[in-house]
Structure 1
Amino acid sequence: MAEVMKTFRSPSRHGYAVEISPFFATRLACATSQYYGIAGCGTLFVLEQSEVGISLLRSFDWNDGLFDVTWSENNEHVLVTGAGDGSLQIWDTANPQGPLQVLKEHTQEVYSVDWSQTRVETLVVSGSWDHTAKVWDPERARCLCSLRGHEGVIYSTVWSPHIPGCFASASGDGTLRVWDVKAGTSRLIVPAHKAEILSCDWCKYDQNVIVTGAVDCSLRVWDLRNMRQPVSELLGHSYAIRRVKFSPFKMTVLASCSYDFTVRFWDYSKDLPLLGTLEHHTEFVCGVDFNLHVPNQVVDCAWDETVKIYTPPCLAALKHSTP
């Protein structure tokens, strides 16, 4: 039997991104903006889930909208957000006074932040409307390099979970790029969609597989060893796909959320890849994440001022086994 859906309401704050802690199964963070991110301030909500619901653990305000959030991989109290004023904020849940550091080198909105996962390094990557991706050392609070190449807004930057110093970016120029930080250049450029790409994510079990989601309403799964055509194209959304995320428990399963108010679950290895569709929001769904600790538990956030935690029936029916 599927668990009961839990809901947290963030009055006058519209959800842009949500992520569950890599340390605690019950802790999550949501980056939000006032006035749909067009104007006003932003709030970072740090939340705790229990068997009966979701409670507020801590909230942090910033003077511009917050568009993305990432947890530290080596300190359970630390998070990083990206803001509309071009800055990144480093927060400590044990320190309610404000950000530990503010990193400001981007000249336009920071739309994506991600903390490296390989444990070999401690790095944050950010993507911005200024067409650059920047790699930061959060412990020394400085930018290590600025990477240029995209000809449009960078909407998504995600570290490889397998290869140190390697991240992917998705852009309004319709390309997916894979970057080598040491070389300071993109080693792969994939013309992935004939539309703006708003999100990308790496497969957790295969270092060569990436998924992209775009304004053309399609998801495309790519094998970086042969990029002439996608491994799979997933169709079903009726508006732009805002975020995509691979399951940490099953190699070919992924989630997508969209401006069509839905969250969809897919298994790209199947002839009929759409596993299920949930329409439990009344506005754009902008953030989605899988719980690393609880198989098939999902969290999402939307412009309807809610965060929801649940186990989709279509995933609950799957075996939990990993490849």
Structure 2
Amino acid sequence: MLEFRTQGFNGYGVKYSPFFDSRIAVAASANFGLVGNGRLYILGLTPNGVVAEKWFDTQDSLFDTTWSESHENQILAACGDGSIKLFDITLAEPFPIRAWSEHAREVFSVHWNLVTKDTFLSSSWDGCIKIWNPSVDASLATLPTHSCTYSAQFSPHSPSMLSCVSSDSQLRVFDLRTPASASNHLTMSVPIHTPPRAKPGMAPGMGIAPSEALTHDWNKYRPELVACAGVDRTIRSFDLRMPSAGPVAVLSGHDYAVRKISWSPHLSDVLLSASYDMTCRVWTDGSAVGVPGKEGQMGDPMCFGGGREMGKMGRHTEFVTGVDWCLFGAEGWCASCGWDERVLVWDVRAIMGP
């Protein structure tokens, strides 16, 4: 396990470069993001450990970051003052090359379009998502959610589909190909706390009081599958072909809110989670039936759909707020960051049980 200390800054988001397996970005904030400056770290993995290749200071907190999918040296940062900043890490001057300031409150997530690679989105506490082109000064579209929106993403399978989760416990899906009209491209709104479908011989599940949804992620191999998690400590996955049926898998085990989840880029049934309980956990959703050693199990009665926890990493000493997989090499390396001012680079396979 490798470690880097973000001295004086508490981590909020970590992201591997889509171009280099040895480069990681970390968005961090002073004073836990409550007040003060932010810092965007560009870290390199070297034979001598993790080193800071460059960093950019901002006047307000940073809550998220994402690499450009079209330019290997450009990266976005989501700022607490409502702005989005684009940096080029090859330039000597520590200033953004572009900035946008249309959001009225904190920008909490940014995400690049993985398919067309010419647009990105942002979501904010002001209750909207905005679509941007890095070469245009104003946003291309605004999608209202009317609720504090913590996480938004483009689908990795379609350039025009995107989703978000927010404080009203709804998973929303938008399709930019549809007429804007009164729906503002909204095609689906799924109540995250719908009880799961009853299995044969079981009574229907009881509903759960809605709570804030903090994070979600599209499955990289199954275009219809999206996982969500948040304050209620539970991860749920939904099949968008039948959203009214409720979650297809429910994974419980964290002791406090789940702050970040990420599906594996290598295995269709595996995802990582980061939580305020100071742990990262690896899960299977139970869909890998028939694969030797990976059959879904119902060992935990709180888990639904055959999923289960496969391992836990507890080396952080404060809230874990970010986690991301390495896209390259062996299927297991990842990075995590947290409020303990530490970035850890580790191998998921080392914590997985049999």
Please give the TM-score of this superposition, normalised by the length of structure 2.
Answer: 0.86
Question: Are residue 253 (structure 1) and residue 270 (structure 2) matched?
Answer: yes
Stretches of structure 2 that go unaligned for 5 or more consecutive residues are: 179-183, 194-209, 287-295, 300-307
Question: Which aligned runs of 4 or more in structure 1 are off by greater than 6 angstroms?
Answer: 315-318
Deviation of residue 12 (structure 1)?
0.8
CA contact (8 A) 2:78 2:85 kept: yes
| Corresponding residue pairs, total | 312
Structure 2 contact 128–147 (Cα < 8 Å) conserved: no
Which residue of 1 is the match for residue 347 of structure 2?
A: 311
Letter paired with 1:129: W
SS in 1 for 2:139: strand
Distance in 2, matches of 1:160 and 1:174, equals 20
Residues 217-244 of structure 1, C-alpha deviations (whole Å, 9 max, x = no match)? 0000110011221110000001010000
Structure 2: which amino acid aligns with 1:296?
Answer: G
> 1:157, 1:170 within 8 Å by CA — same for their partners in 2?
yes
Aligned to 2:310: 275
- Asked if 1:189 is matched to 2:176, the reply is no
Identity %: 37
Counterpart position of 1:8: 4
Q: What is the rounded CA distance, in whole Å, between the counterparts of 1:263 and 1:136 in structure 2?
A: 32
Q: Secondary structure at the match of 1:313?
A: helix
Counterpart position of 1:237: 254
Give the deviation of 1:141 after TM superposition: 3.7
Change in 2 beyond 3 A, CA 1:202/1:20: same
Question: Structure 2: how far apart are the matches of 1:40 and 1:99?
Answer: 18
Amino acid at match of 1:260: D
Structure 1 contact 275–314 (Cα < 8 Å) conserved: no
Any idea what SS the aligned residue of 1:266 has? strand
The 1:155–1:96 alpha-carbon spacing in structure 2 relative to 1, beyond 3 Å, is farther
1:167 aligns with 2:162: yes
Deviates more, 1:168-177 or 1:94-103: 94-103
Q: Write out aligned runs for 1:117-156 (5 A).
A: 117-118=114-115, 120-148=116-144, 150-156=145-151
Structure 1 alignment gaps of length 5 or more: 319-323
**Root mean square deviation, CA, Å:** 1.3
> 1:41-190 to 2 correspondence within 5 Å?
41-97=37-93, 98-118=95-115, 120-148=116-144, 150-183=145-178, 184-190=184-190
Instruction: State the AA in 2 paired with 1:111.
Output: F
State the AA in 2 paired with 1:210.
V
Contact 1:296 1:315 in 2 (8 A): no
| 1:221-232 equivalences in 2 (<5 Å) | 221-227=237-243, 228-232=245-249
Greater alpha carbon shift after TM alignment, 94-103 vs 80-89: 94-103
TM-score by length of 1: 0.94
Match of 1:321 in 2: none
1:220 has 2:256 as partner: no
